[in-house]
Structure 1
Amino acid sequence: MEVSIIETSGLGDRSYLVDHGDTAVVIDPQRDIDRVLTLARDRGVTITHVLETHIHNDYVTGGLELARTVGAEYVVPAGDDVAYDRRPVGDGDVIDAGPIQLHGMHTPGHTHHHVSYVLRDTTGNTHGVFTGGSMLHGTTGRTDLLGAEHTEALTHAQYHSARRLAEELPADTRLFPTHGFGSFCSATPASGDNSTIADELVTNPALTQDEQTYVTELLAGFSDYPAYYAHMGVINEAGPPPVDLSLPEPVNPDELLARIEAGEWVVDLRNRTAFAAGHLAGTRGFELSGSFVTYLGWLYDWGEPLTLIAENTDQIAQARRELVRIGIDELAGAAVGDVDNLSAGTELRSYRVGSFAELADAMDSEDLTILDVRQHKEYETSHIRGALNIPLHELIGRMSDVPEGEVWVHCASGYRSSIAASLIDRPGRTVVLVDDEYESAEKLQITG
């Protein structure tokens, strides 16, 4: 029996294809199902069942479309109010896929109806457990996504779900969570690339702490999560439409300029230092790298026209793929090529890129503001002396709180600060992007 991992690193999630002989089962597939179909074809297997551990809050599922495309049975936890036909599954139910047996275990916490699936063969041997947003590697799924009125009860439930998994499964059972690889669905950062129940018994707070300590610390430790999460559950309950990965319509320089002047969302996907060196005034810089879709989805005005700028169509295609994963299906168009050729004769804007060492040398200036766009809890743990903290996701609404004069903007690695710098940059503003690792600031002893 083989378990193949399908990584979606931009969202910090994993999907799984389990196969034995010519039969396969898929768990928690992402929206772009072509990756799953290609893997199934390469392995020479037929997908008979598609399973969801829960109604997802951080991405639009591909489960419904995948099941319809291959003619598989679609399995969704009982109790979830969905608008499409599916097989409801609850505690103790068995998904019989011939040589692959998946036993449902109700593990509430991340959601009320969350189900984990214990993977067994026909002889009863346990090969692993698909835990979705329940037990993760060294942590658990967050319990505050359904509203404050549910959070404490779900946190207690999450504790007992983790304990049940540990008590009922063999110690060598492999753990296959959906979240925990950078996803904001993880209550705290997960650790490691693989794990077993035995590993979790010594690393997971739900298994090493008493219930009240676990609950208290989990509730106190939540960070903010992306605003687009509010849309995911609604889309997944209604049933997502078929995915469209086609390229958006091309946009010429004059039309591009008109959209910028109209205040529309025009997003430049190029490298952050290339954006700093020269960009169209009024565009927003979201480098197409690991965190792209999380932060664009977080800041984007949902439903507003969105136009992309990139160096080539491959970048547009990649961005398109990532955006449909969170339900941003409608793109107003794309402009491709050298930014100088897209300017329609207008002058490009630019700003300086610096390091923490350069910031340390400049800190004595009275006209300098240090803007820290990390989350509040990151700032509380450690921050540069005198820095103003406005988390990136609050910046658009708090732009008036950013003082005039020279602003040096930083985060933990340079990615979030690059977005912030692009938002701040405008005529009359002087912004400097600190493109550096925060550890450099700590080594320079400018934190306090």
Structure 2
Amino acid sequence: MPEFVPIDTPTLGDRSYVVHDGQVAFVVDPQRDIDRVLTVLEDRGVRLTDVFETHIHNDYVTGGLALARLTGAAYHVNAADKVSFERNPIEPGQAVEVGSMRVRAVATPGHTFTHLAYVLEVPGETPAVFTGGSLLFGSTGRPDLLGPSHTSELVHAQYASAHRLAAELPDDTRVFPTHGFGSFCSATQSEAASSTIGREKRANPVLTQPEQEYVDALLGGLDAYPAYYVHMGPANAAGPREPDLAPPRRADAAEVRRRIEAGEWVVDLRNRTAFAAGYVAGTLNFGLDGNFATYLGWLIPWGTPLTVLGATAGDVATAQRELVRIGIDRIEAAATGSPREWTDGELRSHPTAAFADLAQVRHHRPVTVLDVRRDQEWAEGHIEGSVHVPLHELLDRMGEVPEGEVWVHCASGYRASIAASLLAAAGRRVVPIDDDYDRAAPAGLAVVTAEPAAR
């Protein structure tokens, strides 16, 4: 039986897969930092012969072409995809022999028009299917990433594709999706760590609900997705090169100041507690302890020069790796150490609080409560009297935040810290709430909840 080696990228919510029979291997949907794949191949002592893409990805830059060129492997991309590089075009129904294994392409449109799933066959068995952004654990890939004019057609295609897989494959076939582990490419999220076709037949709405019910529920639950997605498809169709992960050059305090004054982005990678306690004026807090690349890529005006500040060189290297995955290939400069080493002036700080603190403060003085969660989160419930500006819209809607003291919250604190740093850099007085939103009502804050759906 082949060995399946998943390579997780939890910050983007994706998995790549290395599969081998002890001699040769294939890879499905590799991320940009292909050194992780090469390490697996070396550890197993196997030779890579084939790389398969399920689709032209919308949420990350692929490492497939660079991996294939480096190893001499065949690079399989749907023949219908318009790309500007040489590849091994593959069509639905076509099979590729990989050692003792056979990989068969199946048309599964829905996430994109040309999406493919890959069924793994070995003598007498069908042990796995690699579903990309088609059939996910308890969900499916979202059908709206190619624009609203295509969404209706794609969501119905997604339904048909899931049913095609369920009808063609044995119940014990293991399902290996690329998306669905926190990726915004997934329509909904699941806590499942593994699944089979049989389990999805019993639990996945796309396989248990009538088509229109599934369509209405999926489309009604879709929310915003990161702005940088618009750049991923073109980058992948153009053929991304291998990333340069050499350390960026060092910046001293004077350079950090010059870059901030020039309107460039200088990002502090420390966690939100450390940032609030002391930071360089004008810096922005995107901590490595959260979905760093997702939110940085979502908010930064594309092409803006970027400098990062980290406690260690390892933190800078981690940030760099995360960023190349979404096509931010160049960090202009970096500094390590402590905030006092990053400035030739005074450090700034701001307090943090819990929802219980907010409840007490509102009894004594007026403050603005800014909710930076997404629209769907707000609709499900929010603090009475709060102002709602989703984090990804804050830069464009800063003028809508009332003057005076602003208490910022999200669902747990990570996005609130980002928002607070953006506001602080604009000269606003901020208090980020570092607390779980579920504690707002028990703290005594009036919460407006959504009306239950009519039956």
Q: Give the TM-score, by structure 2 length.
A: 0.96
In 2 relative to 1, CA 36–199 (structure 1 residues): closer, same or farther, beyond 3 Å? Answer: same
Match of 1:398 in 2: 397
Shift >4 Å, 4+ stretches: none
User: Cα deviation per residue 1:113-164 (whole Å; 9 max; x = unaligned)?
Assistant: 000001111x141011000000000000000001111110000000000011
In 2: Cα distance, 1:429 partner to 1:152 partner:
43
CA offsets, 1:359-384, max 9 Å, x none? Answer: 12122345211111000110010111
1:104 maps to: 105
Give yes or no for the alignment of 1:69 onto 2:67. no
Q: Which residue of 1 aligns with 2:49?
A: 48
Secondary structure of 1:354 counterpart: coil
Superposition deviation, residue 98 in structure 1:
1.9
SS at match of 1:48: strand
Between stretches 27-36 and 263-272, larger displacement belongs to: 263-272
Deviations 1:229-276 (A, max 9, x none): 000000000000221111111011111111111111111101111111
Q: Say whether the 8 Å CA contact 2:290–2:414 is kept in structure 1.
A: no
Amino acid at match of 2:394: L
Helix, strand or coil at the partner of 1:429: coil
Output the CA distance in 2 between the equivalents of 1:191 and 1:90.
33
Identical columns (%): 56
CA contact (8 A) 1:15 1:28 kept: yes
Unaligned runs of 5+ residues in structure 2 are 449-455
Where does residue 287 of structure 2 map in the other structure?
A: 287
Q: Which amino acid aligns with 1:214?
A: Y
Q: In the alignment, what sits opposite 2:164? A: 164
Return the offset for 1:88: 1.5
Looking at structure 1, the residues matched to 363 and 276 of structure 2 have their Cα atoms a distance apart, in angstroms, of 24
1:375–1:238 CA distance, 2 compared to 1 (3 A) = same
> Equivalent residue for 2:432?
433
Instruction: Read off the aligned partner of 2:368 and give its amino acid letter.
Output: T
1:191 Cα deviation after fit: 3.2
By how many angstroms is 1:335 displaced?
1.2
| Structure 2 residue aligned with 1:360 | 359
Shift of 1:165: 0.7
SS of residue paired to 2:296? helix
AA partner of residue 255 (structure 2): E
Bigger Cα displacement from structure 2, 139-148 vs 208-217:
208-217
Change (3 A) 1:437 1:143: same
**1:286-320 superposed Cα distances (whole Å, 9 cap, x missing partner):** 11123000000000111111011111110000000
Equivalence for 1:29: 30
CA contact (8 A) 2:22 2:44 kept: no
> Aligned pair in 2 of structure 1 residues 76, 445: CA closer, same or farther (>3 Å)?
farther
Q: What does residue 59 of structure 1 align with?
A: 60
Q: Deviations over 1:14-49 (max 9, x none)?
A: 000001021100000000000000011001100100
- Equivalent residue for 2:248? 248
User: Does residue 133 of the first structure (1) align with residue 142 of the second (2)?
Assistant: no
Distance (Å, rounded) in 1 between the aligned partners of 2:233 and 2:107: 19
* SS across alignment from 1:308: strand
Q: Deviations over 1:319-370 (max 9, x none)?
A: 00000000000111001111112211x1111111101111121223452111
User: Is it true that 1:114 corresponds to 2:115 in the alignment?
Assistant: yes
Instruction: Find the counterpart in structure 2 of residue 311 from structure 1.
Output: 311
CA gap 1:439/1:71 in 2 versus in 1, 3 angstroms: same
Note the residue ranges of structure 1 that are not aligned, 5 or more in a row.
Answer: none
> For residues 374 and 126 of structure 1, what CA distance do their matches in structure 2 show?
43
* Distance across 2 between alignment mates of 1:34 and 1:439: 40
Q: Which one-letter code corresponds to 1:419 in the other structure?
A: I
Instruction: Report the CA distance between 1:282 and its aligned residue.
Output: 0.8
Worse-matched range after superposition: 152-161 or 271-280: 271-280
Partners of 1:81 and 1:426 in 2: CA distance: 43
**In structure 1, how many angstroms separate the alpha carbons of the residues matched to 2:234 and 2:175?**
28
The one-letter code of the counterpart of 2:110 is: G
Matched residue, 1:230: 230
> Aligned pair in 2 of structure 1 residues 325, 427: CA closer, same or farther (>3 Å)?
closer
> Aligned letter for 1:401?
E
Letter in 1 for 2:24: T
Aligned to 1:87: 88
Q: Once the 2 structures are TM-superposed, how far is the Cα of residue 426 of structure 1 from its aligned partner?
A: 4.4
Matches of 1:151 and 1:440, distance apart in 2: 37
Residue 445 of structure 1 deviates from its aligned partner by 4.9
1:418 matched to 2:417: yes
TM-score normalised by the chain length of structure 1: 0.98
1:329 and 1:311 map into 2 onto residues whose CA distance is 21
Q: Is the 8 A contact 2:92 2:116 kept in 1?
A: yes
Inter-CA distance 442–90: structure 2 relative to 1 (3 Å threshold)? farther
| Distance change (3 Å), C-alpha of 1:428 and 1:145 | closer
Name 1:9's counterpart in structure 2: 10
Aligned pair 1:239/2:239, yes or no? yes
Distance 2:390 2:91 in 1: 40
Give yes or no for contact 2:356–2:444 (8 Å, CA) kept in 1: no
Are the aligned partners of 2:373 and 2:389 in contact in 1 as well (CA < 8 Å)? Answer: yes
Q: 2:284 touches 2:425 (CA, 8 Å); kept in 1?
A: no
Q: Is the 8 A contact 1:9 1:290 kept in 2?
A: no
Distance 2:155 2:427 in 1: 48
What one-letter code is carried by the residue in structure 2 that aligns with 1:352? P
RMSD: 1.1
